[in-house]
Amino acid sequence: MDILLTHGYFLYEDPKELQIMKPYPPLGILYICAHLRNKGIDAEVFDSTFSSREKLFSILQGSRPSIVGIYANLMTRPNVVEILRVAKDAGWQTVVGGPEPGAYVNEYLEAGADVVVTGEGELTLEELVPILQSRAAPALHNVDGIAFRDANGTVIRTKPRGQIRDIDAQPWPARDLIDVDEYVSVWRKHHGMGSVSLITARGCPYHCRWCSHEVFGKTHRRRKPALVADELEWLINRYHPDMAWMADDVFTIHPGWLFQYAGELKRRGLKLPFECISRADRLTPAVIDTLSDIGCFRLWIGSESGSQRILDAMERGVTVEQVQTAVALCRARGIQSGMFLMWGYEGEELQDIEATIQHVKKTDPDIFFTTVAYPIKGTPYFSEVDGRVEPLKVWSVGSDREIRIRGRHSRRFYGFADKLLRTEVELEKVRSKPDTDLLTVAELQGKVTDFRASLIASATEVEA
C-alpha cells in the first residue's frame, strides 16, 4: 500500500449524528483514491463512518508504516489531530487536506502533519506520494498546493495548485473500497428510504462572506449531463436506492444544463427521487417544473435571514422576495422546501430578527434549520470580526463553531430568538387550521408574549 486515505468522522461516537442518522460516503477521498489508482498508486481507504478510532489506530500501529492522508473539516478537527498523533508515533508520514487545513496550516503542521494539501487533492497527491516515498524532502518545494516545514523548521507554502479543468476526465469515486450498501441500509432503516449520493459539479462562484472556498475556490466546473446520468444509472442498478442526494453546492446554477440532464434521464427512463440545494435566484418556474418532472421531492434553499439589510451585508445576492417566491413555486409543484437560517450575523438587531420571523411565517417552508453564525477562518466574515473572536476551547479539541465574539448578543438572546421563531410559526399553523383549537392558540400566544419579552430583555446582554 502506497497511501491510506481516511477521515475523522465516527458516526457512533457522535450523539447528534446518531439522532439524525443520515450518513453519506466520503466522496472526496473516494475521488482521490480513484485518481491515484488510475495513476498506478496503490491507494486504500479506511472509512471511519461506521467503524471506530480503536480499529483505525490498530491498523496504524500494526501495519508497516507508509503514508496516511486524512480529510479534515471544522467538525472533525479533534479526531484528525488524534489520528495524526497516533500515526506519527507509529512511524507514518502524514498528510492532511480538506476544507479546513488550508486555513490552519501552522496548527496542523504543529499537530503532526508532515504536509498540508491546499485546494483539490488529486493532482497534488499524485505528485506528492512518490516524493514522500523516496523521502526526497527538497522536491517538496516543486509541488504546487502544499505547505510543509523545511529542514530549518520554516513553514513553506508553495504556489496554489491550478484547478482540474476537465472534471469529466476524472474517474468516478472508488465506491468499491467502502461498504456503500451499509449507507443505503442505514438510511432505509431510519428513514424508510435508502439513499445514495453523487456530485455533478465542483465549486460555487458566489461570494457569501461567511462561506469557505478553501478547496475549490470560486469556480464552477460541471460534468456533462450524459456522464452524470451514466453514474446515476449505475448507482441505481448497483445499490437499488430509493432516493439520491445531489451533493452540489448549487444544483440548479445552470438551467440549460438542468434541462439537458432532464432530457437525458427521460430518454433512459430514469426517475429516482432526490433532494438538492439551490439558491432562490436560480429557481424559475421552468426550473422548478423540470426538477419536479425528474423526481426532486425536496429542495433546500439558503434563506439565512428575512432582513434584506442582513442579506446584503452577507453579500448573498438574493432578495427576501425571491426566497418567498421560490418556496411558493415548490409548493405549487409538490416539492417540499427546506430553509437554512442564520442568527447573529454581524450587525443583526431585534428588527432583523423580527423580520426573519415574519419571513418564515409568510414563506411557510416544510422544514427549516437555524444556526448561530460562526466565522470560519479564511472567509471575509472571519476577517471582519477577527479581532473580537475568542475560542472557547484549545484549538486541537475545539472548532470554529466553539467561539465567542466580543460585543455580539449573548447565546441566551439567540436562544430566545429561536424559541420565538418556532412558537410563532407553530401558532401560525394552528390558526390556519379550519378546526382551530382556541385553547392551544391561547397557550401559544402566551408563549409568544413571554419569549418576545425575554428576547427584548436580553438584548442588552453581549458576549464579553
Backbone phi, psi, residue 390, to 5° = -130, 120
Q: Could you report the per-residue pLDDT of 7-46, keeping only the tens digit for each?
A: 999 999 999 999 999 999 999 999 999 999 999 999 999 9
Q: Last residue of a domain, which of 329, 350, 373?
A: 373
* 280 and 423 inside one domain: no
Residue 389 forms beta bridges with which residues? 405
* 139 and 222 inside one domain: no
Query: Is 245 a member of any domain?
Result: yes
- Alpha-carbon distance of 315 to 310, in angstroms, equals 9
Instruction: Record the cell numbers describing residue 184, joined without a space.
Output: 443505503
- Alpha-carbon distance of 114 to 309, in angstroms, equals 44
Residue 391 forms beta bridges with which residues? 403
pLDDT above 90 for 434: no
* 148 and 218 inside one domain: no
Integer Rg of the chain from CA: 24
Give one word for 119, left, alpha or beta, with left for phi > 0 and alpha for psi -120 to 50: left
| DSSP E strand boundaries for 312-388 | 336-343, 367-372
Distances (CA, A) of 71 to 35, 174, 289, 315, 391: 16, 16, 37, 29, 23
* 213 and 349 inside one domain: yes
pLDDT the model gives residue 464: 79
* 9 and 83 inside one domain: yes
Q: What is the mean pLDDT of residues 225-238?
A: 98
Let me know: does 25 contact 47? Beta carbons within 8 Å: yes
Backbone phi, psi, residue 299, to 5° = -120, 125
- Alpha-carbon distance of 239 to 181, in angstroms, equals 6
Query: Is 386 a member of any domain?
Result: no
* 20 and 71 inside one domain: yes
Query: Is 389 a member of any domain?
Result: no
Query: Is 229 a member of any domain?
Result: yes
Q: Any idea what the Cα angle at residue 182 is, between residues 181 and 185, rounded to 5°?
A: 85
Q: pLDDT class for 439, splitting at 50, 70, 90?
A: confident
- H/E segment holding residue 116: strand 115-117
User: Which among 415, 407, 405 is positioned nearest to 374, based on CA atoms?
Assistant: 405
3-state secondary structure 377-410: CCCHHHHHHHHHEEECCCHHHCCCCCEEECCCEC
* 105 and 237 inside one domain: no
Q: What is the mean pLDDT of residues 214-239?
A: 95
Residue 441 sits in which domain range? 409-464
CATH number at residue 357: 3.20.20.70
Q: pLDDT class for 58, splitting at 50, 70, 90?
A: very high
Q: Last residue of a domain, which of 345, 373, 401?
A: 373
Q: Could you report the per-residue pLDDT of 336-366, keeping only the tens digit for each?
A: 999 999 999 999 999 999 999 999 999 999 9
* 354 and 263 inside one domain: yes
Query: Is 295 a member of any domain?
Result: yes
* 311 and 435 inside one domain: no
Q: Last residue of a domain, which of 93, 126, 157?
A: 157
Q: What is the DSSP letter of 39?
A: T
- Alpha-carbon distance of 140 to 97, in angstroms, equals 16
* 56 and 136 inside one domain: yes
- HSE (side-chain half, CA atoms, 13 Å) at 59: 19
Query: Is 316 a member of any domain?
Result: yes
The proportion of the chain whose per-residue pLDDT surpasses 70, expressed as a percent, equals 100
Instruction: Record the cell numbers describing residue 54, joined without a space.
Output: 480503536
Query: Is 23 a member of any domain?
Result: yes
Query: Is 398 a member of any domain?
Result: no
DSSP string for residues in 50-84? TS-HHHHHHHHHHS---EEEEE--TTTHHHHHHHH
* 9 and 151 inside one domain: yes
Domain count, the chain: 3
Instruction: Record the cell numbers describing residue 149, joined without a space.
Output: 516545514
* 282 and 366 inside one domain: yes
CATH number at residue 94: 3.40.50.280
Give the Cβ contact number of residue 153 at 10 Å.
7
Model pTM score: 0.95
Let me know: does 347 contact 381? Beta carbons within 8 Å: no
